[in-house]
Amino acid sequence: MPKPYISYKQLFTSIAESKNYKVIRPNYRDRQNSVDFILEGQTNSKPTKVSVDLKKKNGKSANNWVYIEYQNSQGGEGWLYGSCDFVVFETNKEFIFVNRKSLIKYLNSSNIVRWDLPYVDKPWNSKYRLFRRANTLETITQIQVSDLLAISNHRIWQKL
C-alpha cells in the first residue's frame, strides 16, 4: 500500500512535537512577516519561544542548493529580512535551522553572492548569482546547503 502524502509542514510539525515543542500557528501579522510557525518549549531547561520561516525543498537540487529571497515581487524586503528568528530549509533527509540574522551576516561578510555581475536569465542559473523574474522586482539567488552548515549555531532535525 502506498505511503500517504504528508506535506513538509505536517512533517515539520510532527518532528517538532516529537521533540516536545508546542507548535503555535502565527497570527496574520506574523504570517505577513514570513513567520510560518512559533515553537514553544524548553531549551537547556529554560522556556523558549522562537518563530520559524520554513522553506520547502526545491526539487532535485534540494540536497545541494537553496534559494534566498532578497526582494519580493513588489520590490520590498524579501523573506530574508522578515521577522522570524530562524529560517528552516528542507532537504530530502533533514530540516536545517539557521538563525536569520546570522544568515544575513554570513551572506554580507562572505561575499559569495556576486552582486557585481549582471542578473542571470533563469532561476536555476542563479547559483551565487542574482536572478530577477520578468515583470517583477523579485531578486533571488541560490547558495549551497554546505554554506548553511558553515553558519555557527545551525541545527539539524533528521526527518522521521
- For domain 8-158, is the CATH number 3.40.50? no
**Measured distance CA(13)–CA(111) in Å, rounded:** 34
**Per-residue confidence in pLDDT tens, the chain, 160 aa:** 566 778 899 999 999 999 999 999 999 998 888 899 999 987 777 777 888 989 988 777 778 899 999 999 998 999 999 999 999 999 989 999 999 999 999 999 999 999 999 999 999 899 999 999 888 999 999 999 999 999 988 999 999 7
- Could you state, in order of their start, the residue ranges of all structural domains in the chain? 8-158
Quickly list DSSP for 16-83.
HHHTTPEEE---HHHHHTT--EEEEEEETTEEEEEEEEEE---GGGTTTEEEEEEE-TTSSB-GGGSS
